[in-house]
Amino acid sequence: MSTIARAYLATSATSPLEPGVIERREPGECEVRIAIGFVGICHSDIHTARGDWSGVKYPVVVGHEIVGVVEAAGSNVTRHAVGDRVGVGCFVDSCRNCENCLAGEEQYCLAGSTSTYNSVGRDGLQTAGGYSTSIVVDENYVLRIPDGMLLAAAAPLLCAGITMYSPLRNWNAGPGKRVAIIGMGGLGHMGVKIAAALGAEVTVLSQSLKKQEDALRLGAQHYYATSDPATFEILTSRFDLIINTVSADINIDEYLSLLALDGTMVLVGLPPKPLTHRAWSLVGFRRTLAGSKMGGIRQTQEMLDFCAANGLGAEVEIIPASKINDAYERVLASDVRYRFVIDAGTF
Ligand code: NAP
Ligand code: ZN
Ligand code: ZN
C-alpha cells in the first residue's frame, strides 16, 4: 500500500516546474515516512532540473534539504519515533559495507550512494526528492534535528551546511587559520557562519560589494569584491584555505594565487564546464587543489549539533511552491539572501 504525495516536478530541462502527484511506498521495517515541513532550494536542484549535468531522467522531483516530522515508522525502527523532528540530505542509501561506508563517509560509497533524487533506489524505482509532501527513507540515513532549532532554518543545513562544515573541519579551519569563501550564496553564507564559529579568520570574496554588510554580520572579518582587480593584488598569498562555492566559469589561477604556502583550495561548486588552471599556480607555493562532496551521516549529525550549540541556522526566505520558478531565476542571478526554503504545506 503506497501513499500519494503532492509534489513539484521538472518534466524537461526547459519547462518550468509544475505541480503533480507521486507515489511513496509504505515504510519498510527499517524505514520512516516523514511529513515534510520545509525543503531548501539548492543550486544543485537547478542544475538537475535544467539538465546542466548529464543523466537526468524526467520527470524528476528534486530537493535534498529536507526537514519534517516522522509520521510512520517500520517495526524495526529504533533511531527515530513518530513525532520526531528529522532531516534528510543528499543521499538516502549506500552499500554499508565498503571501506568508505564503514568509515562513515557514505557519500563516497564505492558502490555509489543513492542520491535523494534522480537515482535508482533499492526498490528499482527512481528516487524522488523533497519538493513533495512526504518521503520514505531508511532510518540510518535520517538525521535528528536538535531541539530549539527552527525547522525552516535547519533545512539548508542538510546540504549547504554539511557541504561547508565537512571541508572546514577536514582542512582544520580554526583559530589562527585564514579562510576565504568564494561566493556568498546558499553554501557560502553557511561557510561564513560555520568558519567563524570554528574560530577562523574569515574573508568573503564576492562579485560585488552588495553583500558586504551581511557578510560582516554573519561573522566575516574581511570582505572583497572580485570585480575589483586590486583585490587579487592585495590578497596575494594570503589564505590557508579557500572554499570555492561558485558554479560558473571563473579564472581559477587568479584565485589560486591567493593561497599561502601549503594552502589549499577546496572546490565544492560544480560548474557544468571543465575547470582549467596552470601547473605553476600550484607549484609556485606548494599549493593544493582539492574537492569535497557533502559529508557522511555521522558528520552531518555532528554539524547539526554544532550549529545548535552555536545558535547557527541558515538565513532563509520562505516561499510557497508557486514561487519556485521565480526563485530559480533569482538564485541564477546571485540574488538570493541566502537560501530559499519552500513551505511544503503549499505543494
Ligand atoms: P548559490 O546560492 O547560487 O551560490 C553561488 C554563489 O556563487 C552566488 O551567490 C554568487 O555569490 C557566486 N557566483 C555566481 N555566479 C558567479 C560568477 N559568474 N562568478 C563568480 N561568482 C559567482 O548556489 P549554492 O546552492 O550555494 O551552490 C553552489 C554550487 O555548489 C553549485 O554548483 C552546486 O551544485 C554546488 N554544490 C556542491 C555540493 C558538494 O557536495 N560539493 C553540495 C551542494 C551544492 P556572490 O554574489 O557572493 O558572488
Ligand atoms: Zn545541495
Ligand atoms: Zn559503500
Task: Out of 224, 246, 267, give the residue to mutate to test ligand 1, the one with the largest number of ligand atoms within 8 Å of its CB.
Answer: 246
DSSP 295: -
Of 89, 83, 44, nearest to 66 by C-alpha is 89
Distance CA 152, CA 150 (A): 6
| Residue carrying C-alpha cell 605553476 | 280
The model carries a pTM of 0.98
CB atoms within 5 A of ion ligand 3 belong to: 94-95, 98, 101, 109
Please state, as a whole number, how many other Cβ atoms lie within 10 Å of the Cβ of residue 315. Answer: 17
Ligand 1 surroundings by CB, under 6 angstroms: 42-44, 47, 159-160, 163, 183-188, 206-207, 211, 245-248, 250, 268-270, 292-294, 331, 334, 336
Please give the grid coordinates belonging to residue 195: 568558519
What residue type is assigned to position 163 of the chain? T
Distance CA 62, CA 129 (A): 5
Distance CA 132, CA 169 (A): 32
Question: Is residue 17 packed enough to be buried (19+ CB in 10 Å), middle (13-18) or exposed (0-12)?
Answer: buried
| Per-residue pLDDT tens over the stretch 106-125 | 999 999 999 999 999 878 89
Ligand 2 centroid to Cα of residue 40, in Å, is 9
Q: Count, in order, helices (H) and strands (E) of the chain.
A: 11, 17
Residue with CA closest to ligand 1 atom 9: 185
Cβ neighbours for 216, distance < 8 A, ≥ 6 positions apart: 223
Coil, helix or strand at residue 323: helix
Residue ranges per structural domain of the chain: 2-159+295-346, 161-291
The domain 161-291 having CATH identifier 3.40.50.720: the answer here is yes
Distance CA 143, CA 163 (A): 15
| Nearest atom of ligand 1 to the alpha carbon of 47 | 34
| Per-residue pLDDT tens over the stretch 24-42 | 999 999 999 999 999 999 9
Residue with CA closest to ligand 1 atom 15: 248
Ligand 2 centroid to Cα of residue 233, in Å, is 33
Residue with CA closest to ligand 1 atom 17: 248
Distance CA 206, CA 2 (A): 46
Superfamily of domain 2-159+295-346: Medium-chain alcohol dehydrogenases, catalytic domain (3.90.180.10)
According to DSSP H, which parts of the chain are helical?
Answer: 43-49, 99-102, 151-154, 160-170, 186-197, 212-218, 230-234, 252-256, 280-283, 297-309, 324-332
Please state, as a whole number, how many other Cβ atoms lie within 10 Å of the Cβ of residue 36. Answer: 27
- List per-residue pLDDT tens for the chain, 347 residues long: 789 999 999 999 999 999 999 999 999 999 999 999 999 999 999 999 999 988 999 999 999 999 999 999 999 999 999 999 999 999 999 999 999 999 999 999 999 999 999 999 878 899 999 999 999 999 999 999 999 999 999 999 999 999 999 999 999 999 999 999 999 999 999 999 999 999 999 999 999 999 999 999 999 999 999 999 999 999 999 999 999 999 999 999 999 999 999 999 999 999 989 999 999 999 999 999 999 999 999 999 999 999 999 999 999 999 999 999 999 999 999 999 999 999 999 99
Residue with CA closest to ligand 1 atom 5: 185
